[in-house]
Structure 1
Amino acid sequence: MLLTPGPTPLPPSVREVMSEALINPDVDPAFADRYDALLDKLGTVFGTDDEIVVMGGEGILGLEAAIASTVAPGDRVLCLSNGPYGDGFADFVERYGGESTLVDADYDDPLPIADLERTLERGEFDLATMVHCETPTGTLNDLGPALDRFEAHDVLTVVDAVSSLGGTPVPADRIDICLGASQKCFSAPPGLAIASVSDAAWERIETREPESLYTNLLPWHDAEQPYPYTHLTTLVVALDEALDLLLEAGPAAVYDRHREAAAVCRERGADMGLDPYPDPDRCSPTVTAFSTPGRATALQERLREAHGVTLSTGLGDLADDVLRVGHMGYNADVETVDRAMDALDAEL
């Protein structure tokens, strides 16, 4: 059993369609039809009329491409953070010659809105970055207060929603570049990075004329077949099928399923004496990070060896202090979560 916060197991119909698909994306018009339909479905999930881009690469490609496409040397970027991926945006900005201002909080605290307001009052910024779900800590950030302030100061926004999109509502209609990926809540294979891009963001990208090649959104703007880079066609049809499953069930029902699975996970954890790493009110419905000081790695090994259950530990300094249960996508299922928690209970 694989209950990591991505990649997630594939539903049977997704595996089946991958075995049947054989399309040359450069010459077969059937691929363009499939790709256009995929973009329409993603627009429904994002909840925005903004242009959708699907690039061949793991989710981190979208994060780097968003910065590579919008940041020129000397541009000022405010990076709002309370986790590893929020901090990582500042690294991308610096690599592409931008000047990053990190407005951060401890990883178990909410986004520092008061500090953000003071920082915006002191200077002007071209761009701002945030993370919706900080997967390493299981934190779901309330983006509304920050988006209010960025809109008031006319600052474009880039948001990492990789591990929340498709599992919980994302305010993509208020975000200039909203980033997702195939292998999280959609339960498609890893290998596709997804973005919704607003008109204002495209205007900025066009004036920047990004020099990067693969980490460049511009070639995808109003692109037609043949597309800028060859897609992994089996991944495109797999994501298309995964989206069909999501839309047939209905996003509201899928979000409810994620909340129910998360509630069961945390109730079972509480019975075992485990507390979530962030405040319970800020826990994501897609992943639960339990605080397990000094024993996460040992528990992970025991669960895999004795029970065939694979969970994730924390990252960086939290590697041995956080044990994460991914209940997203195909794993947002009460029975599946119960089986994993039975194994954890046996070890504890």
Structure 2
Amino acid sequence: MNVDDPADDPDGPLRMTPGPTEIPSAVRERIASQPPNPDVEPEFFAFYRDLCGKLEPIYGGDDVVILGGEGILGLEAAIASLVAEGDRVLSLSNGVYGEGFAEFVESYGGEAVVCEAPPDEPLDREAMENHLSEGEFDVATMVHCETPTGTLNDLEGILATLADHDVLTVVDAVSSLGGVPVPTEHIDVCLGASQKCFSAPPGLAVLSVSEAAWDRIEAVETRALYTDLEPWRDAADEEWFPYTHLASNLLALDSAIDLLREEGLESVYERHEAAARRCRERAREMGLELYADESMASPTVTALSVADADGIKERLWDEEDVLLATGIGEEADEILRVGHMGHNARIDRVERTMDALDRVLD
């Protein structure tokens, strides 16, 4: 990704939120171009197939599907397509989005068994293994990066254990894909979104689907409508989509992925690590503490424990033209979040953000 974007105003408003992220100029220009007709132009289907091919290496090689809708659509579509009435789903959770998976499962008639850990602690692998020893599960859900608390969950051992038990896995990697290596080997449905580390506009849910997941999706008898993944398996090859696709958003995502590929994934990951490291160095210098232990902290977002997070956020925006985010849920006003992901994972942006925060706190 071109981190020295001449179209960016260094003195203008800076939105350092953990998604949606700021959008590079090349992506903004592409979305403003005349889009093809996604219903009837053959060139559009070729373009869609090419874009999915560009994304496959990021997702570990499985089939990629791009849905017209914000990232949450991908989470619901995965559950709606994989879970039938009475299916047992093991939902591993240490945060808001982990809990949300269980709610989707219940809404589609499945039985959600929640394996819950505190939001500032790792996923409870021992409890998971106890559940697996006591009964069978059809699907397991979990979150790689819990954005509200800035935690990155270590999933490799968990995924390997679930694979040994023949449990299909669904992973929310919305806030990590494209910024952090994701252990995709044993993930059957890996969920992403356009507006996070890809730094494209909100509006697209991007996910990969394994062969085992496709087999289960096709076997589920009760079909959803907008959230059904089954028609997407062959849609591009058959040059037909279940609904009119978001052509302009796809053009923007294509440009964003080109920037990422041009920079190279390893360089992108290193840039995120460097931005996160500098953000936390500055936080320590200001006497601020991370919400969770630094060993769990994600390279894409830093969650700081503060008092009156909402008041600090308002002052930063009003006085410094810097936008941050607070937490979500019960601890919303105790967490201030700096999003250094995608286009915003840049040392100069981190420095400006932390300078502004220092002035406001002082």
Equivalent AA in structure 2 for residue 312 of structure 1: A
Matched, 1:343 2:356: yes
Deviation at 1:21, TM superposition (A): 3.1
Q: 3-state DSSP class of the match of 2:287?
A: coil
CA distance 1:255–1:210, shift in 2 (3 Å) = farther
2:85 counterpart residue number: 73
TM-score, structure 1 as length reference: 0.98
Q: 3-state DSSP class of the match of 1:147?
A: helix
1:195 counterpart residue number: 207
Matched, 1:243 2:243: no
> Residue 327 of structure 2 contacts residue 336 of structure 2 at CA under 8 Å; is this kept in 1?
yes
The whole-number CA distance in structure 2 between the counterparts of 1:210 and 1:248 is: 43
Q: Deviations over 1:307-347 (max 9, x none)?
A: 01110000011110000000000000000111011000001
TM-score, structure 2 as length reference: 0.94
When the two chains are superposed, the root-mean-square deviation of aligned CA atoms in Å is 0.8
The whole-number CA distance in structure 2 between the counterparts of 1:56 and 1:188 is: 13
2:223 counterpart residue number: 211
> Residue 144 of structure 2 contacts residue 171 of structure 2 at CA under 8 Å; is this kept in 1?
yes
Which structure 2 residues correspond to residues 163-174 of structure 1 after superposition, within 5 A?
A: 163-174=175-186
Given candidates 221, 230, 233, the residue that maps to 2:247 is 233
The whole-number CA distance in structure 2 between the counterparts of 1:135 and 1:93 is: 21
> Residue 160 of structure 2 contacts residue 186 of structure 2 at CA under 8 Å; is this kept in 1?
no
Which structure 2 residues correspond to residues 43-54 of structure 1 after superposition, within 5 A?
A: 43-48=56-61, 50-54=62-66
Given candidates 154, 179, 187, the residue that maps to 1:142 is 154
1:318 counterpart residue number: 331
Equivalent AA in structure 1 for residue 38 of structure 2: P
Given candidates 159, 167, 170, the residue that maps to 1:155 is 167
Deviation at 1:36, TM superposition (A): 0.9
Deviation at 1:209, TM superposition (A): 3.2
Deviation at 1:45, TM superposition (A): 1.5
Unaligned runs of 5+ in 2: 1-13
Which structure 2 residues correspond to residues 61-100 of structure 1 after superposition, within 5 A?
A: 61-100=73-112
Aligned length: 346
Equivalent AA in structure 2 for residue 290 of structure 1: L
Given candidates 96, 107, 114, the residue that maps to 2:119 is 107
Structure 1 residue runs of 4+, over 6 Å off?
A: none
Deviation at 1:149, TM superposition (A): 1.3
Which structure 2 residues correspond to residues 4-23 of structure 1 after superposition, within 5 A?
A: 4-23=17-36
Given candidates 272, 275, 286, the residue that maps to 1:261 is 275
The whole-number CA distance in structure 2 between the counterparts of 1:166 and 1:40 is: 15
Unaligned runs of 5+ in 1: none
Q: 3-state DSSP class of the match of 1:129?
A: strand
Taking only the aligned residue pairs, the percentage that are identical comes to 59
